[in-house]
Amino acid sequence: MRVVLMMVSTINGRITKGTTSVDIQEWASGEDQELFYGTLKKQKLVVMGSKTYDAARDFMEFRPGQLRVVMTRTPKRYGKHVRPGQLEFTSATAQKLVEEYAKKGYTQLFLVGGGEINALFFKAKLIDEILLTIEPFIFGNGKSLIAEGSFEEKFKLASVKKLNKRGTLLLKYVR
C-alpha cells in the first residue's frame, strides 16, 4: 500500500502555534487549505492521530466511500464517535494498520498527522510520498511536523510549486 503524508508547516517545521492546536486557518493560506481539502476529498482511506481528530472533528465532512481511521491508545474513549464505514478508531501499530487495510483492498493511505503519528509511520519506514506545504511563518514554539525519535529516512524532491505571492510553497518528496 502506498502511504502519502500531507501536512502544512511553518518554515521551521511547526504545525501548531504554542502548545495548543490553534485553528490552522489562522496561519495556513487559503491556497494551502484549498489544496488540502481538494486532495482530501479524493481519498478513500484517511489516517490521523487522536489529537488531530479532536481538533478537527467539528469540521469534518463525511463522504460515502471514504474511511477515516483515528490512531489512539484508547479507542474505547471514542466509542460514541464511531461511524461504521466512515470513522473508526484503532490502537494498532502503523505497520498493522497498513497491513489490515491493504487486506481490505485499499491501495493508498492518506496520512494527515500529527507529529506523533507521523513519527510512527517514519519509524516503520512506511511513508512513500510527502506533500508538504511550507507557510512563510516562524513560530518560536509549537508542535513539530514529526515528533523526535530514532529513525532516519531519505527522500528525493520531485517538485516545487509556489502557491501564492506571499511565498507559500508546495513541496513533493518521494522515496
Say which CATH number the domain at 149 has. 3.40.430.10
Q: Is residue 139 part of a domain?
A: yes
Mean pLDDT of successive 10-residue segments in the chain (175 residues)? 97 85 76 96 97 90 95 96 97 98 98 94 97 96 91 96 98 97
The answer to the question of residue 24 being in a domain is no
Report yes or no on 18 lying in a domain. Answer: no
41, part of any domain: yes
Asked whether residue 102 is domain-assigned, the answer is: yes
Amino acid of residue 99: E
125 within some domain:
yes
pLDDT value at residue 24: 72
pTM listed for this prediction: 0.94
Do the Cβ atoms of 114 and 22 come closer than 8 Å?
Answer: no
Does residue 19 lie within any of the structural domains? no
User: Taking a C-beta distance cutoff of 8 angstroms, is the pair 171, 135 a contact?
Assistant: no
Cβ atoms within 10 Å, residue 2: 15
Cβ–Cβ contacts within 10 Å for residue 127, how many? Answer: 22
Total domains in the fold of the chain: 1
pLDDT for residue 80: 96
Q: Which residues pair with 76 in a beta bridge?
A: none
- Classify residue 1: in a domain, yes or no: no
- Domain of residue 57 covers 29-174
